[in-house]
Amino acid sequence: MSQENINSKLNFHVSVDCVVFGFEFGKLNVLLLERKMNYEGQEFKDLKLPGDLVRKDEDLDTAAARVLKELTGLDNIYLRQYAAIGTPNRLTRQERDMEWLRQIGHPEEVVVTVAYYSLINIDQERINKFELRDDAKWKPVSQISELAFDHMEILNDALTALRDELRFNPIGFELLPSKFTLSQLQKLYEVILGSTLDKRNFRKKVSNMPYVIPINEKEKGVSHKPARYYIFSKKVYEKTRKSSLDFFV
CA 46/CA 140 separation, integer angstroms: 15
Per CB under 7 A, does 225 bind DNA? Answer: yes
Considering the complex, state which of residue 193 and residue 227 has its C-beta at the smaller distance from a second copy.
Answer: 193
C-beta of 41: minimal distance to a second copy in Å?
26
Angle between helices 151-168 and 182-193 (to 10 degrees): 130
Binds 36: which of DNA, a second copy, none (CB < 5-8 Å by kind): none
Considering the complex, state which of residue 163 and residue 218 has its C-beta at the smaller distance from DNA.
Answer: 218
C-beta of 167: minimal distance to DNA in Å?
11
Binds 87: which of a second copy, DNA, none (CB < 5-8 Å by kind): a second copy
Spatial CB neighbours of 132, under 8 Å, sequence gap ≥ 6:
31, 71, 72, 73
Per CB under 7 A, does 233 bind DNA? Answer: no
| Number of residues this chain uses to bind DNA (CB under 7 A) | 21
Per CB under 7 A, does 226 bind DNA? Answer: yes
C-beta of 225: minimal distance to a second copy in Å?
24
Helix (H) / strand (E) element for 165: namely helix 151-168
Residue 219, amino acid: E
Q: What is the DSSP letter of 93?
A: S
Per CB under 7 A, does 181 bind DNA? Answer: yes
Rounded to whole angstroms, what are the CA distances from 181 to 123, 176, 213, 217, 229?
14, 9, 11, 10, 5
Per CB under 7 A, does 199 bind DNA? Answer: yes
Considering the complex, state which of residue 10 and residue 134 has its C-beta at the smaller distance from a second copy.
Answer: 10
Per CB under 7 A, does 128 bind DNA? Answer: no
C-beta of 232: minimal distance to DNA in Å?
15
DSSP codes of every residue in 109-154: --EEEEEEEEEE---TTTTTT----TTEEEEEGGG----STTHHHH
Spatial CB neighbours of 74, under 8 Å, sequence gap ≥ 6:
68, 120, 126, 129, 130
Considering the complex, state which of residue 10 and residue 249 has its C-beta at the smaller distance from DNA.
Answer: 249
Residues that bind DNA (CB under 7 A): 181-183, 198-201, 203-205, 218, 220-228, 249
